[in-house]
Every structure is written in C-alpha cells, then in structure tokens.
Structure 1
Amino acid sequence: MNLPPSSSDSSSFELLHPEIQQWIWTQGWTSLRDAQEWAAPALVDADRDVIIAASTAAGKTEAAFLPILTNLLNDTDSAGAVLYISPLKALINDQWDRLSRLCERLDVPVVAWHGDVSSSRKQRFLKSPEGILLITPESLEALFVNRGSSLPGIFQNLRYIVVDELHAFIGSERGKQLQSLMQRVELVVARTLPRVGLSATLGEMSLARMFLRPVHPDDITVIESKSTGQELQVQVRGYIERPIQDVVTEHISQSGVVDVQASSEEAQARGNISGSRTAIAGHLYKVLRGHNNLIFPNRRQEVEWFADRLRLLCEQDGLPNEFWPHHGSLSKDLRQDAEQALKAGYPPASAVCTTTLELGIDIGNIKTVAQIGSPPSVASLRQRLGRSGRRPGEPATLRAYCRERPLTDQSDLSDQLREGLVQTIAMIRLLIEGWFEPPRSQGMHASTLVQQCLSTIAQLGGASATQLWSILIASGAFASVSKADLIALLKCMGEKELIVQDSSGLLLPGELGERLVNHYEFYTAFTSDEEFRLLRDGKQLGSLPISKPLTKGQRIIFGGRRWEVQDVDLEAKVIVVTAAHGGEPPQFEGLSAQVHDRVRQEMRSVLMETIPCPFLDNQAQKLLEEARANFHAMGLYAKSIVGSSNASHLLTWRGDYTNDALALLLKHKGIQCESTGLSLEVAFDENDTRRALRVVGEMDISDIEPILADVENLIREKWDWALPPSLLMRSFASSQLDLRGAIETARMLSD
C-alpha cells in the first residue's frame, strides 16, 4: 500500500518511546518531517516491510530508526537487534557516528562491522548480539562463510533488516547477493523479518518493491516524501576546444606578466591538454572559491587534473588550498581529509570527486554542484544535486560545463550534433521534469548464483541440490533460473573443481572451490582489478590498477599533487614516489553509464525545437543552434538514416541497451555494423539498410545461442567463467542487451 501525503496533524510523535521524544525535544525539533510522521505507525510494530523514499537530507535515517528504536525499547522482556546493511564502509562510519549520538542515551549499542573495525569490537557484539549492527553485504557474506554454525545465536534477537541507499543495489551483482543474503538471514532465524529500504532515488517503485521482497512485493508499505519545495538554479556553459597556446597567449595579454619557469612547468604538466579544460578550471576557481562545493568530472584522471590545477591557482594567489580530490583509488586517509574539510564548513573546501560522494555521507552544507561533461545518468545527477541547497531558503545550484570540438569537413556525426552538450541539456530537462532512470532489474546475474552456491555449502558444511534450490532460487532472488539450469550449473561447477559430490549426494567444496572460498576476495560479488599500492615515505597514498603500469622517472598527478616514480616493484605491487614538478594523471577506467531510451528521445526533442534553452550561456546557446542547424540540414527531423552510397548512420534515438542489441542482430545477419552511442554505423546505403532492418524485424529471438555464438566477451561478471554456455549467454543478454526493444526498433525504422 502507498501512504499518500496528508496535511492533517499526526499523532506519530505520541507513538514514540518517551526517551526518544525527549531526544527530539533536545534537538530543537518543533515537528516531525512528513516521512517521519508516516513511518512511525508503519514501523513501530515490526509487522510489515516498508520503503522510505525521500530526497537527500529529508531525515530518512530518523524516519526509520525512531520507530525501530521505540520497538526495541518497548519490549523490555527480550533483547532486540537491527541489521543495517549499507553499500559503503564510509557511510557505515558516518551512520555509526549519527546513530551513536541518539542511542547513547537509550543504552542501545551501535556496532560497525567491516574490514577496518577491530576484532575486539566485533567480539563484543558476538558475545551480546543486540542493538544496531551496521554492516556491508561483503562482511555479512563473510559471517555466513566463516561462522555458519554460530549464525542462529548471532541473529537470534533480530527484529528488522534495514537496507540503506536501496537504489545503489538494484540491478547489480551486488544486489542479487544482498537479496540472497536477506533470505538466508530469515532462514537462519526461521521467521520473516520486516525489511526496510531507504533511498533518495527510485525510478519505478514497483522495481524497488520487487527487489526488497521478491515473493510478496505488493504487501510492502511505501512512504514517499514529495515535500522538497527546493528552488533549482542551473547554468550550462559551453566551450570549444582550443590549443593550449591560445589560452597562454590570452592569459599573458590580459595579465602582462610572463613567468617562464611557471610556464615551463605548466607545459610539462599539461602536455597536449587543450585550453578548454584550463578555461573551465579558471571559471570554477572564480565562482566556487570561498564556499563549499562538489565538482564532478567523469573520470578519475580528470579528478586528479582539476584538483591539481585548482590547487595551483590557490598557490599562485597566495591562498590556502580549498580544493581536495576524492575518489575510490585514494587512500582512506586522503579521502577522510577531504570529507573532514567539507564537514568543518570553515575554512571553505570543495571536493573534486567521483561517485564516491554521491551517496549519503554527511559532508555538511554544499552551495554548488559542478558537473564537467555529460552526467552518467539523470538519476546520478539527481543524487549529486541533492547535496546542494540544504539550508532553508537556499536554492540547489548546478553548474554544468560542456566541451565541444571545432567543426571541420572531417567532423563526425556526434560532433556535428554536439552530442555531449545536447545529452547534458536533455538530462537536465528530465531532471526538472522529475524523471530519472529506473534500475535495470531484469538481469539474471547467474554469476552471483555461483558465489551463493559456494557460500551456502560453506555455511552448512555441505548442501544438497534440493537445499540450494530451496534456499537460493525458490525464495525469489534467482527466480529466472530453472531446475534444469541449476542442474547444468552444478555439473559445470563440478567439472571446474569448484564442488564435489560425496556418495550420499551431498555437495562439498572442490579443490579449487576450497581455495577460492578461503580467500578474502570471495566475499565480493563483483570483480575488482588487482592494484599497485602508491607509497611516499612509507605512507600509502592510494592505489592504481595493475593494468596501467608506471615506469621509473615518470611524473604523475595523484591525490591532487605531483609526484615522480622512484621505483616499481612488480612482485610486491608497490610504486614508490617522491614530490616533483610536472606530471599527468595516470589512466583509470571511466565512469560512463548506459544511456537510457528516454534520454535519447529527449535529445531528439531538444534538436527538433527552435526556441533558445533558458539555462545556457551564450557559447552553449551558439553550439546548440549549430547542432539544430545541422540536424535540420540533414533532414533528421523526418528520417533516421543518413549517409553515402557505401555507408549509413542509423539514428534510432534509443538507448545503449537497444542500440547494442540491434548492432548485434545486424551482425548476426552478416551486416557490418558498429554502435557508436548516438548512432549505428552500417556498411550499406539507405535502401539496403532498410532491407536489413526488415530482416532483423522478422527474427525470432527465443533462441539466443546462435545470435550470441560469435560474441567473444560474454564474460563480464566475476563468476561468469564457471557458468555453462547456455546460462552464460542468457545471463549476458538479460543484463547487457534489450533484444525485444531492438526488434521493435528495426520494425519501426524499416517502414
């Protein structure tokens, strides 16, 4: 059931325990927020599943825990415990600090449990398992593997399972792992536990319901707060890539000062970096300095470059540094330095960051969110912007920066239509409209089923195929897997020595399975690259992917500062650095996301229109006018295929899952085709391309094995190598392709 907004007064405060009421008064609250009002009656009796969806800083944590703690305090006859599951250790640390301040006066213990927490603290919880246990899915997995026989005692007092940042789990291998773990917790305690999901970003509530309780999603109570009332200020700035020398000359002419040494160091540091990036850094420095802000480039090396450049600008003006890098490859100490600088509020601090600061870590009040390049998704942009404008009456402020190349006779279609700028405009318009991408929840993620089979066998000291079916599949976590699939999977795992079967039919870890289960990397459901540790004077600065090796003497930017590589120890996977001038950020993997159908459709709408876009600066408006002129000159308002006699560009205005699937189907029919994002490049003229689309539109995709037979990179997830071919293909297709959408698109475009 959904609880609708209500303007009437609520008696929810009276439902809370007197000690909690007293705590609320000490905080100076004059009323509960809407989500807190509605959550109290839904949660206090621990008799149902609940989803609380509200904007960032809307008090979701209190909405859940004020009635949950009331339940624990009201029952004085038995101990009570809460299992709180979070996607990030940093969020656990933040919530531990937040909940401890509340629970200290209630005499309710709060225990954080992850790899950085001492074993003595964990032992205290194991001896007296009550209060709130804050844990990641990986640490919960480790409990199942290493303490399987003790779990009934550890979980005996559980009354709730709380999942924070619910949207971060839906549609991923990690989400499948979490679904399985929640079901296994309930099997251990032999009763259904109320599940509570907290999220600020949920595209389709039905998907959230299905994730939280796959078997009975309609029984979940949904509390959705709409009361943001927040003003949004947006500006998109456009830049045309220029040679760096143009920017240097312009700077010298304006300042009249030439610093030869600084110019030499800058040239060495930047290499062939274009001037637009320098210009963006200059504008960020001008408008953000003196306030707390978040700056989101789309790649870690861009984080490093901008953090270093902004630090240098502070130094040139004789000012303390206000700009801190923050990404997942930095050491915990460096990330915490950035977080603490933001939390302090003064002196001013801005973080140049990746998705690491999207989720609900408390970083204080943020004035502006800057986005460099097109956002990964509308949902991501919404999450980022939720950090801004938290103070009463203060607007949420977004500054977006788009770089485009100058057009020449050789410019490709993406540049002619200004794809990056138009995609940014489309995403911002959808954000204002209130739309964002629903999670892609239909993926089988059979890879994670391999892990869960091994984990369950380790937990129970051996399991039968029937037990694995009952525990892992019949519960709903892997509902798309059939009994025949499970039998084929177990046979394949046996062939790969992951499991063996004894004379009674009991499945046990095989020789390889035993080694893998006993390795610390087993607990994660996703793949993480091996990495080098980066050391300076014996102190770890962070890590770099092992696929991006460095050489002695190479100069790099890392942690927003410049270093020279002194030694590379391949065996120990250690890189030793010292401070230096110059350098370039090392290469990291990008943070790109699959573009949704709705975003591409909105991009077409942007190009179809003729009225100016109200939130663009003059340069961005000129670039948009240029894109619209090219769009109309090519006749794309009336057709979807442009090109020459031997090659065509096919614009489907569909998302990446559909375009990738359509390219694959065309290749299966012997047609050379590549998906470039916005368009498909087909080695045919327009008429032949339409005929090819008609052929694809009539295909039967019920049997996908022939279609995927020539795909070389089916292995995408951690345990895909252990899947039988048929299950591997179906799992790949379910998470990477929209085959039905591709067939529908082919039929529509062939008319």
Structure 2
Amino acid sequence: MSSALDRLHPAVVHHLVNTLGWRSLRPLQQQAVAPVLEGHDALLLAPTAGGKTEAACFPVLSAMEQHGWTGLSVLYVCPLKALLNNLHPRLSSYAAWLGRRAALWHGDVTAAARRRILADPPDILLTTPESVEAMLVSTKVDHRRLFGGLRTIVVDEVHAFAGDDRGWHLLAVLERLTALAGRPIQRIGLSATVGNPGELLSWLQGSGRGARPATVVAPAVEAASTTPQGDIELDYVGSVDNAATVISALHRGEKRLVFCDSRRLVEQLGAALRARGVTTFLSHASLSVDERRRAEAAFAEARDCVIVATSTLELGIDVGDLDRVIQLDAPTTVASFLQRLGRTGRRAGSVRNCLFLALRTDSLLWAAALLTLWGRGYVEPVEAPPEPRHIIAQQVLALCLQEHTVGSRLWAKAWNGLTPFDSGAEPIVRYLIEHGYLDRDGELLFIGPEAERRFGRRNFLDMTAVFTAPPQFTVLAGREEIGQTDPALLTEQVEGPRVLLLGGRSWKVTWIDWKRRRCFVEETDLRGKARWQSSGAGGRSAALARAARDVLLGADPPVRLTRRASRGLDELRDQRGSTVHPGGLVVTRGGASGTDVRWWTWAGHKANATLAASLGDAVEGRFDDVSLRLPDAVTPALLRAVRDGAAGRLCLPEVDERALAGLKFSAALPPPLAEATLAARLADLGTAARVLAEPVRFTTVG
C-alpha cells in the first residue's frame, strides 16, 4: 500500500486522504499504479463499483504532473452518453486537485460548449468513439492541434465495445489518433469480469500488440472467481401482472432495480407497478434524455421505490445505493448477469443479491441454465465479430473526409498496419472508386458523389456511427418530449382512440406529423400499447443451450429455488425429458402422424444455422436455439450418412438480403463481400462440427 501511494503525485495522495477520506486503496487501485505510471497498456478488471475509474485516473493524473503533459493529453471513452454525464463531475473534481480540467463532448453537448473546448482544450476529454469520429471528419476542428498532445486513452466498459462493430470502429479511430499524435498512445481498458482478459487486452492494443508492454490487473476478480457468491433466488411467476404483484409485495421500504430485456417489457411492468401504487421510475433508450435523467435522479434520492430499466442501467451509471436487483426472465450472458448483480452489495455488511422472476416456462429454463453456468464459474469470452469489411469501407471514407485527399498508395498507413485495415482492404477501396463513393485524381483519393448522396446529410453525421438505428417517431406532450415509439404503432388499424404506452404512462395520440416524424399526445386513463423493432440479438449461445440441456437432465442451479420454480422445473423435465439423454443427442418423431421430426442438438442458434446450411435437403431449413426440423422420411442410416458427408464440408449460413439492411455501410461493399461478412457472423463452425461427431438416438414421443 505505502509503495503504491509513494508513487502517486503528492497532491493526489493528499486529496485521497483529506478530501475523499480514504484510509487505503483497494487492491485493484494499488496494483494498477505501477503499470499505468510506467506506460503499460493495461486492462483493469473489477465488478461494478469496484473502483476501476480511480484505479486508472489517479496514476494517469500523477503521470500528467510528473511528465508535464500540456493541452488535451487524456481521452476517456465510454459507450454511453449517460455514463459520461455521470462520470464528468467526479473526474472534474479529481482533475481540479492538480489545477487541471476535464470536459464533456457528445451529441447532447451544446455548440457553445464545443467551441470553448476547441478554443481552450481541457486536459481530459470525456467522449464517445462516435463523437471522436465526428471531430475527425469536421472541417471546424483542427485535428492535429486538438489531438497532437494525446498520451493516454482510457476505454471504460471496454467489453461493451469489443463484442460488436463499435469495437472495430473504436480500434480504427484509436489508430488514426495515434497517427495524428505521431507517437504510441497508452491504452487502458476498464472492464467487468470477462472470460478472456488476456485476449481482450491484446485486442485493445491494436497495432501495438506485441510491441508494447501489457498488463492485466484483476485482483478482485481472481479472488471471487473460485466460488460464485451472492443471495440469488429463482421464482416462476407466469405473467407480467404476477411479477408486478410479487415486486409490490416484497422488500417494501427498499430501493429496487428491475432489469428487463426489452423496452416493451419495461413499459408493461412499469405501468403494472404504478397501478399497484408503487413509486416507479423507468429508463430505456427510447425515453427522452430529460425523461431518463429525471427518473434516474429521483430514484437516486428516493427510498421505497422501483426503477425498471433495460441494459441502459447495466453499465455502471450511479443510481444511488441499491438494496435489491430483480431480473425479469434472464439475460443471454453470464457477463451481463454479473454486471447487474454488481449493482448491489455495496454497503458494508450487505451482500450482492438478485431475484429472478420467470414469466414463462421456457424463460424459467433459460434462467436456470444461466445460473447453472454462473455456478460453474463460467464467463463468456469477449470476441470481436469476424470480417468487418463494412467498417473498412466506412473508415476509408471517413479518412478521406478527415484529410480531404488521401494518397492512393498511402491510405493503408493511416491505421499503422492494423489488420484488417491494411493493404488487404484494397478490393474494397477499388469497389469504392468504381462505384463513385470515392473519386480519383491521379494518385489522390477524395469523397465521391455516391458517398455524398448516401451519407452526406447533415455534414456526414451518418458516417460517424457504425450501428443502424430503426426509424422511430418522437412523442411530444405539448413541448415536452416523452420519448420515441415504433411507427408501426401509428399505422396499425385500431378501434377507437390510438393510445401509446411510454414512460409507464398512457398517451392518446392527437396528431401525427408524418413529414417531421413527430407524434403529439395527451395523457389518458385508457390502456396503451408499447412496441419497438427488435435489434435481433442472434439467439442463444452454445454454452447456454448446453446448460439448458443439463438442467433438463437434472442439474439444479446453485441458488435458492422457490416452490413454484422447483415445481416448474419438474414439469419441464417431465414435458421435455424426451429431448435429452445423458448418452448423447436425440431425434424425436412426434405429432399425430409422426411427421414432426426434430434433432435436439442443444447447440445454440449459430451452430444450428450452420448445420441447417451444411446438411442441405436433409433438414427442412427450420431451426431454433436447440433443435433442427428434419424431413419425416429421415432414418437413422440416412441421417448418419448425411452427417458423415457434412463433417468435412461445413457451410456458412445463407443470408437473407433483407438482413443486410442491419449491416450499416454494406451498400459500400461488393454484394458478395457484404453477404460473406454477415454469413461469417451467423456461423459457429466449431460447435457444429462437435455436434456432427456426437452419438444420436431416435425416439418416438406420444
């Protein structure tokens, strides 16, 4: 402890003791001091509220003083604007200890505040990758002046980036910042528990992988990894109304955070709780910023209340001192559950807790499967999606916007040799030139008319984000924005008034401005409806599906089961016992005429998609997370022959052209490459191969 404090700047140590009143540093904070001060790239792992922000910031602030960094020297990057807003006051106060400044830049920050930042850059800038991209492509920003002094980049909740295309975008932007600074920039990732920390840090290093020292610091995670801990209970309630009854009756006088995995469910539960007189607040991405802030602030200050949220409150946003976490149904990953569990147990003498309320029997099975994996100490590895060709296209276009013109033989150097943004991207660049996304003048490339047409609106703002948001209508009560709703709710036929459910309240639609995508409403006592387009999560994993099989075979998760949950699991085992066998996989033949034939692979959505593509006519093409539908003429010998033939020639799943709409910038790719990108992301070749090698038995069900 003393050696760690001795290395921090004296002013930081003074304020730790006298301003914060700390008597010691946490183990993570102690162990992070040396590698961060020595300039290592680092991954700091701890559960939610484990002190990761301070573990990074205190040595970074010390380095800032010890080495005399000036201008904007530290970027602090987060996946959510709400998290940045939450962190800004804290980081500003830490920076002020040394006479330094921290500022905030994201889509909700005013133009006047941005001008002040550009005129007099702070020492620390809190932002998102999309906002950094917007700065890089803006003609109003002197990129080299603003970013030329960068020394360190802190990426908070790095696991939330790495698992999707925002991670590829983040890596590419970091490499462009490195090129602007003209020096390596230290990269520090902050994360909750992940299954592959070494690989995650290696990914974060980008082009510096293997060339720069790298350290994983995870004392709290290592200490807790051997025995999962917490007061966890699983209950089966059967409906949203029953869930609301249980929540309203239990834990009165306590502050409860309820997670739901859809906005629609948040709205339904919020309305049901309010109908039972429970003080209830809501938070999800389709509520207005002001609506969410009011709800989160009120919840943080209140007692005996509930806030119902999607994963927007999973990533460390401070909503005060929680007593309970409740989960409707189950998230699809153990990592997500650990984030949510970590919101509780922060007070001395309290324990982390979570109550699962399953709404349907299949939800009960998946919740039990998730808790079984958790009980085994399993956490999913974070893996970047393969073959991000559409992000390559976006980055080449963004680079041309940033530099105005780029040498046709020099563009690959902008990412410092980072794969796949290197010379291997040449076919994509050729396509961009051939189809007018880029123009060419001798050896120079610049933005072409097709890029202007597709992405040029609002000064190429659409170029800065790599995810596609479904269209929504803004809902207004007078001048107050309530949030956004799916346009399908405004076009479907209804009898009587059209009533929406938003913010846990019902709103009667009074007028729709189709051109400006606005919907005007007034509050009503009538019952409203909520709906949003699904983002398409891609189904459940192989690990979770196999854990569900284990539950049906008799495994109970190491948590408290209510009598309703125990009875529900027993009924599931009776009803679905024919779909599992301890000696291997099962093919069932059922239905009135024996034509419902299913191969119960318990392999997850991606592996079953791969098998469906690879087995051709031997399957009917229909599959889900746990089974494939087979033709009624299939026999054990025929299936064995087909499996043997497919074992050496697994195929990628077929891609529906409509699915390409969700792959942003796919229009800037040759169609075969766009389809190949999506197909690679829909596949699980390894699990499919293992399924083909497992024994199979046929059985008839009544």
The reply to whether residue 467 of structure 1 matches residue 410 of structure 2 is yes
CA gap of 1:550–1:564, structure 2 versus 1, over 3 A, is: farther
- 2:322 is equivalent to residue 330 of structure 1: no
Distance 1:446 1:437, change over 3 A: same
CA distances 1:360-387 after superposition (whole Å, capped 9, x unpaired): 1111111111111122321111111111
Deviation string 1:397-420 (CA, Å, 9 cap, x unpaired) is 11111133xxxxxxxxxxxxx432
Residue of structure 1 aligned with 2:31, choices 30, 38, 42: 38
| Structure 1 segment 220-231 matched on structure 2, within 5 A | 220-226=214-220, 231=229
Residue 146 and residue 184 in structure 1: after superposition, are their counterparts in 2 closer, same or farther (change >3 A)? same
677 and 538 in structure 1: CA distance in 2 versus 1, 3 angstrom threshold: same
The alpha-carbon deviation at position 303 of structure 1 amounts to 0.6
Tell me the distance in 1 between the aligned counterparts of 2:356 and 2:308.
Answer: 14
State the match for 1:569 in structure 2.
513
**Is residue 280 from structure 1 mapped to residue 243 from structure 2 by the alignment?**
yes
For 2:685 and 2:78, locate their aligned partners in 1 and report how far apart those are by CA, in whole Å.
33
What's 1:246 paired with? none
2:553 aligned residue (608, 632, 640)? 608
Change in CA separation of 1:235 and 1:686 when aligned onto 2, cut-off 3 Å: farther
Pick closer, same or farther for the CA change 1:90–1:610 going to 2, 3 Å: closer
1:373-522 superposed matches below 5 A: 373-404=329-360, 418-472=361-415, 474-476=417-419, 478=420, 483=424, 486-502=425-441, 504-515=442-453, 516-517=455-456, 518-522=459-463
Contact kept in structure 2, 1:437 and 1:596, CA below 8 Å? no
Q: 1:441 to 1:686 in 2, by over 3 A?
A: farther
Q: For each residue in 1:408-436, what CA deviation from the matched residue of structure 2 results, as whole angstroms up to 9, or x when unmatched?
A: xxxxxxxxxx4321221121122233322
SS at match of 2:253: coil
Inter-CA distance 512–548: structure 2 relative to 1 (3 Å threshold): farther
Counterpart among 96, 99, 110 of residue 102 in structure 2: 110
Decide whether the 8 Å contact of 1:167 with 1:439 is kept in 2. Answer: yes
- Match of 2:185? 193
State the alpha-carbon separation in 1 of the partners of residues 560 and 435 from structure 2.
57
3-state secondary structure, aligned to 1:20: helix
Matched letter for residue 198 of structure 1: L
Letter in 2 for 1:40: V
Matched, 1:343 2:341: no
What SS does the corresponding residue of 1:11 show, helix, strand or coil?
Answer: helix
Q: What is the TM-score of this pair, normalised by structure 2?
A: 0.91
Where does residue 595 of structure 1 map in the other structure? 540
Separation (CA, whole Å) in 1 of partners of 2:310 and 2:665 = 27
Deviations along 1:97-121, one digit per CA (max 9) or x if unpaired, are 1111222232111110012212232
Match of 1:249 in 2: none
Deviation of 1:719 after TM superposition, in Å, equals 0.8
| Whole-angstrom distance in 2 between the partners of 1:328 and 1:77 | 38
Q: Does 1:536 align with 2:477?
A: yes
Q: How far 1:534 moved relative to its partner?
A: 0.1
How far is the alpha carbon of 1:662 from its aligned partner?
Answer: 1.2
User: Structure 1 residues 130 and 584, CA, compared in 2 at 3 Å: closer, same or farther?
Assistant: closer
Question: Can you give the 5+ residue segments of structure 2 that lack an aligned partner in the other structure?
Answer: 698-702
Partner of 1:267: none
Find 1:682's aligned residue among 612, 630, 642: 630
The residue type paired with residue 693 of structure 1 is: R
The reply to whether residue 296 of structure 1 matches residue 263 of structure 2 is: no
Is 2:655–2:678's contact at 8 Å kept on the other side of the alignment?
Answer: no
Give SS of 1:31's match.
coil
Q: CA deviation at 1:149?
A: 7.4
State the distance in 2 between where 1:421 and 1:536 align. Answer: 39
Which residue type is aligned with residue 698 of structure 1? G
- The corresponding residue for 1:745 is 691
Cα 1:78–1:89, aligned 2, differ >3 Å: closer, same or farther? closer
Change beyond 3 A, Cα 1:79–1:584? closer
| Residue of structure 2 in register with 1:309 after alignment | 272
* 1:163-202 Cα shifts (integer Å, max 9, x gaps): 1110000131111110000000000111101101011132
CA distance in 2, matches of 1:749, 1:463: 57
1:676 corresponds to which letter in structure 2?
D
Asked whether the equivalents of residues 148 and 460 of structure 1 are also in contact (C-alpha less than 8 Å), the reply is no
Q: Paired residue for 2:135?
A: 143
1:670 Cα shift? 6.3
Aligned pairs for 1:633-712 (under 5 A) are 633=578, 636-638=581-583, 639-644=585-590, 645-667=594-616, 669=617, 671-684=619-632, 685-687=634-636, 688-699=638-649, 701=651, 708=654
Counterpart for residue 260 of structure 1: none
Instruction: Give per-residue Cα distances to partners, 1:573-595, cap 9 Å, x unaligned.
Output: 11111111122332113465532
| 1:547 Cα deviation after fit | 4.6
1:79 CA displacement: 4.7
1:272 is matched with none
Task: Name the aligned partner's letter for residue 239 of structure 1.
Answer: V
1-structure distance, mates of 2:50, 2:42: 17
Aligned partners of 2:580, 2:192: CA distance in 1, in Å? Answer: 41
- Map 1:11-30 → 2, pairs under 5 A: 11-26=3-18, 27-30=20-23
SS where residue 576 of structure 1 aligns?
A: strand
Q: Cα deviations across residues 73-127 of structure 1 (Å, max 9, x unaligned)?
A: 2234755620111111111111111111222232111110012212232223222
CA-atom RMSD in angstroms: 2.4
Return the alpha-carbon distance in structure 2 between the equivalents of residues 433 and 735 of structure 1.
Answer: 27
**Aligned letter for 1:598?**
A
After TM superposition, give the deviation of residue 737 of structure 1 in Å.
1.2
Alpha-carbon shift at residue 231 of structure 1 (Å): 4.6
Query: How far apart, in 2, do the equivalents of 1:709 and 1:75 lie?
Result: 53
Q: CA deviation digits over 1:220-249, x for unaligned, max 9?
A: 111013267695111111134xxxxxxxxx
Partner of 1:555: 499
Q: Aligned partner of 2:308: which letter?
A: V
Q: Which amino acid aligns with 2:230?
A: L
Contact 2:257–2:307 (CA<8 Å) still a contact in 1?
A: yes
Tell me the residue number matched to 1:408. Answer: none
Query: Is the CA contact 1:697–1:743 (under 8 Å) kept in the aligned structure 2?
Result: yes
Kindly state the Cα deviation for residue 55 of structure 1 after the two structures are TM-superposed. Answer: 0.9
Residues 1:327 and 1:666: Cα distance change in structure 2 (over 3 Å)? same
Instruction: For 1:632 and 1:461, locate their aligned partners in 2 and report how far apart those are by CA, in whole Å.
Output: 64
- Amino acid paired to 2:518: V
Question: Where does residue 53 of structure 1 map in the other structure?
Answer: 45
Q: Is the 8 A contact 1:300 1:590 kept in 2?
A: no
Deviates more, 1:104-113 or 1:435-444: 435-444
- Amino acid of the structure 2 residue aligned with 1:443: P
User: How far does residue 353 in structure 1 lie from its aligned partner after superposition?
Assistant: 0.6
Q: What secondary structure is seen at the aligned counterpart in 1 of 2:286?
A: coil
Instruction: Kindly indicate whether the alpha-carbon contact (under 8 Å) linking 2:48 and 2:343 is maintained by their aligned counterparts in 1.
Output: yes
Q: In structure 2, how many angstroms separate the alpha carbons of the residues matched to 1:611 and 1:329?
A: 37
Work out the CA distance in 2 between the residues paired with 1:74 and 1:709: 55
% identity of equivalent residues: 28
Which residue pairs with 1:89 in the alignment?
81
Indicate if the aligned counterparts of 1:653 and 1:678 stay in contact, CA closer than 8 A.
yes
**Structure 1 649/442 Cα, relative in aligned 2: closer, same or farther at 3 Å?**
same
User: Conserved in 1, the CA contact under 8 Å of 2:553 and 2:580?
Assistant: no
**Of 212, 233, 236, which aligns to 1:235?**
233
Partner of 2:700: none
Q: 1:298, 1:590 within 8 Å by CA — same for their partners in 2?
A: no
Contact 1:108 1:131 in 2 (8 A): yes
Do the aligned partners of residues 635 and 99 (structure 1) sit closer, same or farther apart at CA in structure 2, a change above 3 Å counting? closer
| CA offset digits 1:152-171 (Å, max 9, x no partner) | 11112211011111000013
Asked if residue 367 in structure 1 is aligned to residue 317 in structure 2, the reply is no
| Distance change (3 Å), C-alpha of 1:67 and 1:473 | closer
Distance 2:205 2:539 in 1: 27
CA shift for structure 1 position 138: 0.8
Distance 1:108 1:349, change over 3 A: farther
- Residues 38, 223 of structure 1: 8 Å contact kept: yes
**Residues 632 and 578 (structure 1 numbering): CA distance in 2 closer, same or farther, change over 3 Å?**
closer
Look up the match of 1:73. 65
